[in-house]
Chains A and B, each alone.
Chain A
């Protein structure tokens, strides 16, 4: 009895997992094939399971590890099998259940896993459930297996997916006398997941296949399972309940199985389908694929880096599925309108190549059969994060047949050899399910497996080698991704990095691809890998070691490099250092070991050896700011001994460009278990091993003991007084309460980049400054003033600081820890996302409001109040807080560093000069990079350059202003934007008064007009609005038309609310800003102009696609009458 017969209710005995690693899918190479198209064993013209079994050796040799079979179930085949008429059987054309079991066992014996389709959104209209449903009474459980309605207006507005064939998502059924719902073809009615019986049947079918040993299930069309009125009927929350239920059954009843979500959406929208690692194990990354094609066509990496920047992190047990082509059209749903037009023009000149919202062509024809392009695209597929999915036939560069209907042109028989029917079948050619491809370029006589197997230079051999190579390195399936940003945008460069969970090995790979048809130079900043040895992975060829200088590579047309960044090669003949493969710390020689002490290492005979090791150590530290420069020397300039165990060293670093910097490096020596613990858990902190003693010299901030030692300095000092401990001194706030800090455990924070943050419980945070500058750090100085003198409540209170006695340089800053809900940028951005969701389908707003100004009362349009009320209220609060901050900074004091000053003529001249200088630098850069800008930006840029004099003329605002009208000058925040705020309990705390770190300390400490901070915040609103609108428009191009106007309305309303509140509060102290609104307005506009010019330069150098944001800001100011 075959299991195709009615006796199939006897479910197969449950099989154990075919694989031992539960994350096997992360390392997999998936091969997608159609049983019908692969090999025909019985000469009926249709591929079958026995044919597929006969080709398993070929697939094993190719190296793929997982076979994804398209639907092979009984079906009328009106949608290539996705219209299933029986879930627990095999289409007789392909074989029997026994054949499938044999195939499964044979695949497993070759170490290949098998994934099949679980098409649960819909069935064929020929499925017995549907036939029964249409004949059953309305409301009966049988009828309710599907979604029915008396009207076709229910769920009105839900988009139609197959636009070429379907006019509605509802179809009238004469038998049932109701409409039934279908998101795809009208012969594919959607199952009704609100009916529990549907879920039961789905689980039953799923268990049937998993019990046989199937390793993976692809959940087809998963976002459409549930319908809810008033929604898009996509991604509704209840869908996730269903998926979690499916996953729960799998986890409880089976081992090491996989479910893969097909959700053709933006990565951020797909992210929920991973849940917390408790929904789908994998999901396709749809938008990456068209962007890879776009990047190679435009010879520009931006499409790829941009979409990856929009790709959220996923749970550690989850994985993206990436692909170049599949059985469907090259979908263009996830691109903007312009991008879609471009792709159509670039890749489908013949309209027959287009279908639905995509292009129905195979990989090789898409790239004009250019071998180097095919190889380049595959190299990206194999090296980008995710599991690569190959489509059958692409490994030999098969062509397509655009004259076949639907997407069948890419589903033609596999080309095995040059015999009849390409070796696919011995049937008479007319009997084949589709004709084989026969033209002179793509025909099976020219392109087939047998020919390529005998040709060592064939694409098949190349693909096989690449797969084998990828399988040697887990980093490709499991590692992190970091893009590099070389100046040449035709080069795509990224780092993949992986540390195995057991810590036994790590892999770092640099991938560089030339997207251009011509040779390209590229220069990469690899300084953080200084000392490493790149080894070209295909040929195992060592490249020159990396140092702190830019790493230059020359790339042949469409070429790529995979370079493994290995630790420096062992140098057996060099007795001083022995590097080990896992980046272990170097070893100091025996002479030191016998007398290893901090004193010896920092001041005695070990000092020279420490100096030798310093450069390499520094460049590996996250906080080290000189990575892009070449170090000529690094020496211990001085050291402050805290006790026998710890010392704070000052390292003087000299660079090749003759610049110098000083860094703080607390050091300690650890022995025995503590040393082992450091090596295992904080290897970056280990400076060196002390020969064979097992001890290590390390960055003491990794030690709890050291951190407590620092805290003790505060606890022991007197209130408000300086407590000197030889060479370091401690200052404490008047409000410092030692009782709150005693006994608190500490940990090192991870957010800080340039310094090191130490958290003491939830009470305090200590910033250990790494780069030292003489005199007090401005952040410490201002926070101390605001806490102890001005009693300003809207900062995390200052608690104290440690500084060096000799020059006052701040070593550590202790501040109260402020619980918060994230920074201001994240909060406003989230609000903006919700705002755009609300207005996306609305027509343009009736009024855009007016830009924030001291000259207008600025009534806020009702539409803004209605839709962005929360943001407006927050901006109003923030305006008040900003004014309060300035008032606090203007608190009368005898401290010269803070006493407010009147504005002198010289200060206004300096402002004018600074603006003029910024104008020249930024506009020159704009002129130089004009050809690289997007067309829309070019137009604005041209106008701006033509009106350069108008920009320059704005500087006269400063020189023509009477000093007594210009308000007073005070210490200001200096780098004021939304990222410098913490959202806390419906209010804001202001942080980071360090000023722009790139500017010299004396400049940051200068007193300035408070309106500079106001300008900074207004620009930050503009950035938030426009960048959020851009992101939204990319995700929802169909709803993007009115977005710019809604963004402008938001920006105007928020800015106006902020400025109104600010003005109201700041005038409580008359004269701090210009009393005359006209003068205040002129000053503010000039500061905004300066800020825009600064942003323009930044974007031109770093994010050209963002240039339009500062450009629009500039135009708004320059076009405005002075």
Chain B
């Protein structure tokens, strides 16, 4: 386990979610549901009422009239701000801003902001989330859902390793689908979200875990059950990656003075996930198109990559482009350095940022191809590879810090 100096990320199993009535008595939990249907809200209200008898709930949703839906008054509907409302498959800065405004206005003891398809969350998950916020001492509660080897790969390849290496936040989903937070976290979100919305617009994203880290607030990750993972509206990986990676890279640029001071311990690697030595055509059917995309990009994007990556990385990519699908493995440290160089190029505006992020997509596909080949539909192997990737980002952190401080592609 790494030493995480700025935040503590701990596992809260569902067995620990019984509410201590003495502590939470008369607490008010705000539940913001920017995208839930009216039926879903009613169902959720029923579920919440069935939890701790001493907690009052305020439900804010665009889709339900603002009146009490519980005779006891323990669960009340409140008005959701008119604009801007939730607009997509993931929580945006606007969602955080609305939730933070309501939390501060109603002086909520804790707030849950639940994203699209939150109705599929197990009932216990809700209690787990708000209990961790009320009693666990955490300012930010991030859920951890069980995921298959093919799920959450943007997080696994980029968001998780970058957040862990740079900020010391060991959370599998730094851009959460659902989240719970404390009043002081709400205050922090209000400021950050305002800034993000005013400078980027309604589609701006907020990175809750990095906000918590910068404020030295405690982040907890809690294990919750499986939920339906919403899919982005666009089927264009380029746009998706540009949106998410671009936002994270910008956040990294803003918080450089902070993350360059966070030092983590490099955890000892007990295992190195390796792909099966033999694979049949069926095993490779999924990754072949990805490898083909990467090879095409190697030919077509050379010029852009050479503006971003140092010779050593370019040489390694050349070798990778020549590898047969059966042996196609992007080394974890190469991926880590590549991402770091893109982060740096983003900061330096080496090329147009849109083009830059577009040029990252085939490299990401190369990592995904490696991952799927290594995971081989085995969740344990997938986790090992994700851990190995994450560890490489930590090990290579001095690389990004030194290049950030003295950008020069002469070396290595």
Partner of B260, one of A465, A472, A571: A472
Which of chain A's residues has its CB closest to B215's CB?
A: A504
CA separation between A469 and B3, bound complex, in Å? 26
Residue numbers in A under 8 Å from B233 (CB-CB):
none
Asked whether, in the complex, the Cβ of A572 is within 8 Å of the Cβ of B3, the reply is yes
Q: Is B18 an interface residue (CB 8 A)?
A: no
Contact between chains at B406 and A472 (CB < 8 Å) = no
Chain B residue contacts of A566, Cβ below 8 A? 263
Q: Which of A532-540, A763-771, A858-866 contacts B (4 or more CB under 8 A)?
A: A532-540
When C-beta atoms are compared, the residue in chain A nearest to B264 turns out to be A570
For residue A1000, CB closer than 8 A to chain B, the reply is no
A–B complex contacts, Cβ < 8 Å, 21 sampled: A61-B349, A456-B409, A456-B410, A465-B406, A465-B407, A472-B257, A472-B405, A473-B257, A507-B261, A538-B405, A539-B402, A539-B406, A540-B398, A540-B401, A540-B402, A566-B263, A570-B3, A572-B265, A578-B3, A581-B261, A581-B263
**1/0 contact string of B380-397 vs chain A (CB within 8 Å):** 000000000000000000
Residues of B within 8 A of A570 (CB): 3, 5, 263-265
- List 7 additional contacts besides A61-B349, A571-B265; criterion CB under 8 Å: A456-B410, A472-B260, A474-B257, A572-B3, A572-B268, A581-B6, A581-B261
List residues of A (458-506) whose CB comes within 8 Å of B's CBs. 465, 468-469, 471-474, 504-505
B3 contacts across to A, CB distance below 8 A:
570, 572, 578
CB distance from A676 to the nearest CB of B (A): 14
Give A residues with C-beta under 8 Å from B. 61, 456, 465, 468-469, 471-474, 504-505, 507, 537-541, 566, 569-573, 578, 580-581
Q: How far is the CA of A456 from the CA of B263 in the complex (A)?
A: 29
Interface hits, B248-262 → A, CB 8 Å: 256-257, 260-262
Q: Whose C-beta in chain A lies nearest to the C-beta of B262?
A: A581
Residues of B within 8 A of A504 (CB): 216
Complex alpha-carbon distance, A771 and B410, angstroms = 55
Which of A61, A537, A578, A581 is the one whose CB lies under 8 Å from B405? A537
In chain B, what residue has the closest Cβ to A502? B216
In the complex with contacts A456-B410, A472-B256, A569-B405 CB distance below 8 A: no
User: How far does the Cβ of A429 sit from chain B's closest Cβ, in whole Å?
Assistant: 33
The answer to whether B263 and A469 touch across the interface, beta carbons within 8 angstroms, is no
- Report the minimum CB–CB distance from A571 to chain B (whole Å): 8
B46 at the interface (CB under 8 A from A): no
Q: Identify whether the interface residues of A are mostly helix, strand, loop, or mixed.
A: loop
B368 to chain A, nearest CB (A): 30
- Check A538–B265 contact: CB distance below 8 A: no
- A569's nearest neighbour on chain B, judged by CB, is B263
Chain A residues near B264: list those with CB within 8 A: 570
- B146 on the A face (CB < 8 A): no
Residues of chain A contacted by B401 (CB below 8 angstroms) = 540
A581 with B5, Cβ < 8 A, contacts A472-B405, A570-B263 known: yes
Distance of B252 from chain A, by nearest CB (Å): 13
B268 touches A573 (CB 8 A): yes
Q: Which residues of A contact B216 (CB under 8 A)?
A: 504
- Within the complex, the shortest CB–CB distance from B3 to chain A, in Å, comes to 5
Q: Say yes or no: A465 contacts B402, CB within 8 Å.
A: no
Q: Is B267 an interface residue (CB 8 A)?
A: yes
What residues of A have a CB within 8 angstroms of the CB of B406 in the complex? 465, 469, 538-539
Assembly CA distance A884 to B256 (angstroms): 66
> Which A residues touch B266, using CB under 8 A?
572
Residues in A neighbouring B324, C-beta threshold 8 A = none
B2 CB within 8 Å of chain A: yes
| Interface positions of B (Cβ within 8 A of A) | 2-3, 5-6, 216, 256-257, 260-268, 349, 398, 401-402, 405-410
Task: State the CA gap A507–B267 with chains docked (Å).
Answer: 26
User: Bound state CA distance, A724 and B216, in angstroms?
Assistant: 50
Q: Are A572 and B405 in contact (CB under 8 A)?
A: no
CA A468 – CA B257 in complex, angstroms? 10
Cross-chain contact A505 with B261 (CB below 8 angstroms): yes
What chain B residues lie within 8 Å of A541 (beta carbons)?
402
Closest Cβ neighbor of B216 among chain A residues: A504
The distance in angstroms between the C-alpha atoms of A580 and B8, with both chains bound, is 13
Contact of B261 with A468 in the complex, beta carbons under 8 Å: no
Q: How far is the CB of B7 from chain A (nearest CB, A)?
A: 12
Which residue in chain B gives the minimum CB-CB distance to A469? B405
B5 A580 Cβ-Cβ under 8 A:
yes
Known: A504-B216, A538-B406, A540-B398. A471 touches B5 (CB 8 A): no
Q: CA separation between A578 and B268, bound complex, in Å?
A: 17
Note all chain A residues with C-beta closer than 8 A to B265.
570-572
Give the distance in Å from the alpha carbon of A539 to the alpha carbon of B267 in the complex: 23
| Min C-beta distance of B98 to chain A, whole Å | 22
Question: With A and B bound together, what is the CA distance between A581 and B263 in angstroms?
Answer: 8
A456 touches B268 (CB 8 A): no
Contacts of B267 in A (CB 8 A): 572
Write the nearest CB–CB distance from A34 to chain B, whole angstroms: 28
Q: Chain B residues with Cβ under 8 A from A571's Cβ? A: 265
Residues on the B chain within 8 Å of A469, using CB: 405-406
Report the minimum CB–CB distance from B296 to chain A (whole Å): 30
| Residues of chain B lying within 8 A (CB to CB) of residue A569 | 263
Residues of A within 8 A of B410 (CB): 456
Q: How far is the CB of B325 from chain A (nearest CB, A)?
A: 38
Give the chain B neighbours of A61 by CB distance below 8 A. 349
Residues from chain B with a CB closer than 8 A to the CB of A540 are 398, 401-402, 405
Query: A573–B268 Cα gap in the complex (Å)?
Result: 9
Contact A468–B405 (Cβ < 8 Å):
yes
**Ordered nearest first, which 4 A-B pairs have the shortest CB separation?**
A572-B265, A540-B402, A540-B401, A472-B257
> How many angstroms from the CA of A468 to the CA of B348 in the assembled complex?
11
Contact B2 A572 (CB under 8 A): yes
Contacts of B402 in A (CB 8 A): 539-541
What residues of chain A lie closer than 8 Å to B257, measured between beta carbons?
A: 471-474
A571 and B405 CA atoms in complex are apart in Å by 25
Question: Which residue of B is nearest A61, CB measured?
Answer: B349
Report chain B residues within 8 Å CB of A539.
402, 405-406
Q: Which of chain B's residues has its CB closest to A573's CB? A: B268
Say whether A456 contacts B408, CB under 8 Å. yes
Q: Report the minimum CB–CB distance from B170 to chain A (whole Å).
A: 14
A473 to B263: give the CA distance in the assembly, Å.
Answer: 16
Shortest Cβ distance from B169 into chain A, in angstroms?
15
Smallest beta-carbon distance B269→chain A, Å: 13
Q: In the assembled complex, how far is the CB of residue B215 from the closest CB belonging to chain A, in whole angstroms? A: 8
Which residues of the other chain, A, contact B6 by a CB distance below 8 angstroms? 581
Nearest A residue to B397 by beta-carbon distance? Answer: A540
- Chain B residues, CB < 8 A from A471: 257
A99 to B31, CA, bound (A): 49
With both beta carbons as reference points, the residue of chain B lying nearest to A580 in the complex is identified as: B5
Measured CB to CB, the nearest residue on chain A to B6 is A581
Q: Determine how close the nearest CB of chain A comes to the CB of B411; give it in whole angstroms.
A: 10
- For B398, the chain A residues whose CB sits under 8 A away are 540
Contacts of B408 in A (CB 8 A): 456
Q: How far is the CA of A456 from the CA of B2 in the complex (A)?
A: 37
Complex Cα gap A541–B411 (Å): 15
Nearest residue (CB) in A for B400 is: A540
When chains A and B are docked, how far (Å) is the Cα of A200 from the Cα of B182? 51
Tell me the bound Cα distance from A967 to B408 in angstroms: 78
Instruction: Give A578 to B264 CA distance when docked, in angstroms.
Output: 12
Complex: chain A residue closest to B349, CB-CB: A61
Which residue of chain B lies nearest to A464 when distances are taken between CB atoms in the complex? B407
**In contact, A465 and B405 (Cβ under 8 angstroms):** yes
Between A474, A504, A540, A572, the greatest number of chain B beta carbons within 10 A of the residue's beta carbon is seen for A540
| Residues in chain B near residue A505, CB distance under 8 A | 261
Q: Which residues of B contact A473 (CB under 8 A)?
A: 257
Q: Which residue of A lies closest to B261 (CB)?
A: A505
- A580 to B267 CA separation, bound complex (whole angstroms): 16
- B2 neighbours in A (Cβ, 8 Å): 572
Q: How far is the CB of B302 from chain A (nearest CB, A)?
A: 20
Task: State in angstroms the CA–CA spacing of A474 and B256 once bound together.
Answer: 12
| Docked CA distance A540–B261 (Å) | 11
Residue of A61, A469, A570 with highest tally of chain B CB at under 10 A: A570
Give B266's nearest chain A residue, CB to CB: A572
Min distance, Cβ A532 to any Cβ of chain B, angstroms: 13
| Complex CA–CA separation, A338 to B304 (angstroms) | 59
